[in-house]
Amino acid sequence: MKMNIRQITAKDWPAIMAIQQNCYHDIAPESLASMQSKWLVSPDSCMVYEHQGQIMAYVLTHPWQKGDAPKLNSVFTSIENSCSLYIHDMAVSPCAQGLGVAKKLVNHVVQISTTLGFSGIGLIAIQGASEFWQRFGFQPVNNMSKQLSTSLASYSDDACYMYLPADKAV
Span 64-96, pLDDT tens digits: 999 888 989 999 988 887 899 999 999 999 999
Residue 170 has pLDDT above 70, yes or no: no
pLDDT classification of 150: cutoffs 50, 70, 90? confident
Rounded Cα distance between 157 and 27, Å, is: 10
Q: What are phi and psi of 168, to 5 degrees?
A: -110, 0
Q: What is the pLDDT of residue 57?
A: 97
Residue 1 has pLDDT above 50, yes or no: no
- pTM of the entire structure? 0.92
Better-scored residue on pLDDT, 61 or 144:
61
Using one digit for the tens of pLDDT, what is the confidence trace for 16-38? 999 999 998 888 889 999 999 99
Residues contacting 32, CB < 8 A, separation 6+? 13, 17
Which tops the pLDDT comparison, 142 or 124?
Answer: 124
Q: Is the dihedral of CA 104, 80, 43, 25 positive or negative?
A: positive
Beta strands per DSSP E along the chain = 5-7, 47-51, 54-64, 84-92, 120-125, 139-140, 160-165
In 3D space, the residue among 13, 19, 18 whose CA is nearest the CA of residue 39 turns out to be: 13
Q: Is 88 helix (H, G, I), strand (E, B) or coil?
A: strand
Residue 168 identity: K
Indicate the pLDDT class of residue 153, thresholds 50, 70 and 90: confident
Q: How confident is the model at residue 111 (pLDDT cuts 50, 70, 90)?
A: very high
| CA distance linking residue 21 with residue 161, whole number of Å | 22
- Chain centroid, CA 149 distance in Å: 19
